[in-house]
Amino acid sequence: MGALVDEGVRHIVLSPGSRSQALALVAAELERRGILSLHVRTDERVAGFTALGIGRETGMPAAVVCTSGTAVANLLPASLEAHHAGVPLLLLTADRPPELRGVGANQTTRQPGMFSPSVRLEADLPVPEQTDPEGGAEQSLMLRDVAAQAVAAALGAGTRSPGPVHLNLPFREPLAGDLPDWLSTPVVELTALPADDPDAAPVEPEPEADPSGALYQGGGGIGEADLPIEPEDRPVLLPRGPRTVVIAGSGAGPDAEALAHAGGWPLIAEIVSGARFGRQVVHGYRALVADPELGGRIERVVVLGHPTLSRETAALLSDPEVEVLALRGPGEPLNLNGATTPLDTVGVEPGEPDSEWLGLWMRASRAASVDLSPAAPDADGLSSAVPSERLGAIAAELGAIRAPVDREALVDAVWRATWPHDRLVFGSSRLVRVADAVLGGKKVPVHANRGLAGIDGTIATAFGIAVASQDGGRPGVTRVVLGDLAFLHDVGGLLLAAGETPPRLQVIVGNDGGGTIFDGLEVAGVAGEDAMDRVLYTPHRADLEQLALAYGWEYERVTTRTALDQALTSATTGCRIIEVPLPR
């Protein structure tokens, strides 16, 4: 544990258990001394996604500690998301000793290899055979080496992509004892970003050299043709000729906007990309990509991140007639058409942009943009001396104030309330697709579990993002937008351990009483109403206010846009559920 701290790990997420008690006691002592932040979660699945959220926000792996048996298996969902999304994560699983495996011993299964398809590194470590008060024995030196390798592998050294690492740690009884003497010696003080620089990024350690080529670490992948670049980092320079669009998927970040700006190309940025800003963002992109007169003329696509939100984009990236260039980033390489060219870095050749091509997209974008701004009050009518005019203006104003919230108004209100020092998290619900369809450009840090686009772990992931982004007293609110089924699927993520300071977190639940995301799928046209309700919509009678009360959260139910705006922008000092009833 101390060696992981030496390697830069600052967050431990722990689920209590007997076999892992020695690790837990060391973690508690390191927390007591202010060396790391400890987060205790009863449910291992929640613990895994909390650590995933921390890794998403900081770029450094958090370590998850759990006991043996089914506890370990509950880390698999977060491990898979970390693998496919390229998020660093450390799994420290306590285990029975090897002689108890396969002989019917209690709480014992074959943990080594459980995560093999998804991890960057795995090790079944030997059982500790001696105490080492000074921390200098061969056993301790080996553990320090393993810790260094584990953190480097989680950060993507040698594999091009960050991801999960599994260290299986078997222990024989006795399972606890006095804390080692080395804990009396300071290791490293916990540091945070300056409170006056909320938008500064944490400094990540340099990855080890990758013998297979340059490592793409998300940022810094784009180089202008006229910038001085070291020869080994020189980007591939793209000619301006082909009709090109830039597609930004989850995890793309500001690099996508920078590339589109440098090339003078339209920017198709998913709402979860963190790249939906700038003058070249395309509004209503789904219809435009599917338009033969516009999308049908695309000759080349440059992709950053992991696009997942539209079938139109997936069809474009699967077209063998379109040249697709994909920047290597976190997660699996993109190759939907079987001929996609992977790139480590990319730049743009000098020259004039194709203004006609960009102009076509920008005019279509303006026509497709949606203005969700509430109508301004009729000032003249409200001040009119003519009773009918004044009463009409008053009635119109009252109607606007009392208008119920629909999905478009919900995501618009959240988008308007969120700023660069905040964090916005989207669950894999219908609402993220509505947001992708209607929201305009704004430079906001956005997170979403789109590696596998699972419904699970959304609240826990947002918790991890919140505690990491607010570490050291930094300002901001983390808002998570999700549907009622995604909320209920991760309701255990609401449980906060006693003694832990709750982050500033708003969970905005669009509650339409079931999984209406299926309305937009083929099954809605072929299945009967009873079958849809029984096995797809899965309507429920859960009382979210009672759940909030049970878990000690603040709760507010809002039905109008005015009330929603007030709820989102009122002072937030802890954890709050904002329920928004929506029509089926």
pLDDT, tens digit, 9 for 90 and up, residues 380-429: 888 888 888 788 878 777 777 778 899 999 999 999 999 999 999 999 99
Give the per-residue pLDDT at 183: 63
In eight-state DSSP terms, residue 498 is T
- pLDDT tops 70 at residue 230: no
- pLDDT tops 90 at residue 134: no
pLDDT, tens digit, 9 for 90 and up, residues 162-211: 999 999 999 998 887 777 666 655 444 444 333 334 444 443 333 333 32
Cα separation, 302 vs 239, whole angstroms? 12
Give the per-residue pLDDT at 437: 96
Residues 6+ apart with CB under 8 A from 206: none
Residue by residue, DSSP assigns 278-340 as STTBPTTHHHHHH-TTTGGG--EEEEESB--S-HHHHHHHH-TTSEEEEE--SSSPP-TTS-P
Tell me which residue has tokens 């991760």: 490
* Angle value at C-alpha 300, between 296 and 303, nearest 5 degrees: 110
Dig out the tokens for 5 from the structure.
Answer: 């701290």
Phi, psi of 89 (to 5 degrees): -160, 135
CB atoms within 10 A of CB 162: 31
Residues 6+ apart with CB under 8 A from 3: 143, 144, 146, 147, 148
What is the overall mean pLDDT for the chain?
Answer: 87
Distance from the Cα of residue 560 to its chain's centroid: 29
In eight-state DSSP terms, residue 233 is G
Phi, psi of 527 (to 5 degrees): -90, 150
pLDDT bracket for residue 234 (50, 70, 90):
low
Distance from the Cα of residue 271 to its chain's centroid: 12
Predicted structure pTM score: 0.87
- Structural domains present in the chain: 2-184 (3.40.50.970), 231-368 (3.40.50.1220), 404-581 (3.40.50.970)
Tell me which residue has tokens 């650590």: 51
- pLDDT tops 70 at residue 119: yes
The H-assigned helical ranges of 374-528 are 379-382, 387-402, 407-417, 430-438, 458-469, 484-489
